[in-house]
Amino acid sequence: MASRLENVARLYVEAIRNKGDVGEAYRELVKAVDMSAYENFIPYIAAGKALQQEGEIEVDDDACVSLGEGGAYVAAWLWVENKDVQKFIDDPGLIPWGMRT
């Protein structure tokens, strides 16, 4: 049985061959590819959410995921207190070189 992605890809190719509505077929293909990738990331996002600490580090339901060997990076929000920022304001030399303006 063909997946949704395979069916949409087939419709896209047919639209090109038959000079059909390629734009609409392409939009559907992009949505199908995005959903296919997202479905593969759901377990990583769920694991990230299980590790989150409310008010400290949080993971969105649609977090970006970068797969690697043996795991993945899951984008998260990290809370930074104003008091932790002040030393970088007081001494800009502490800011890593590549981040300086």
Q: What is the pLDDT along the chain (101 residues), one digit of tens a residue?
A: 567 667 777 777 877 778 777 777 777 776 776 676 777 889 999 999 999 998 899 999 888 888 899 999 999 999 999 999 999 999 988 888 888 77
- Which pTM was predicted? 0.58
> Among 53, 59, 81, which residue's Cα sits nearest to residue 72?
59
pLDDT (0 to 100) of residue 20: 75
CA distance 29 to 8: 6
* AA letter at 88: F
For the record, the structure tokens of 18 come out as 């038959």
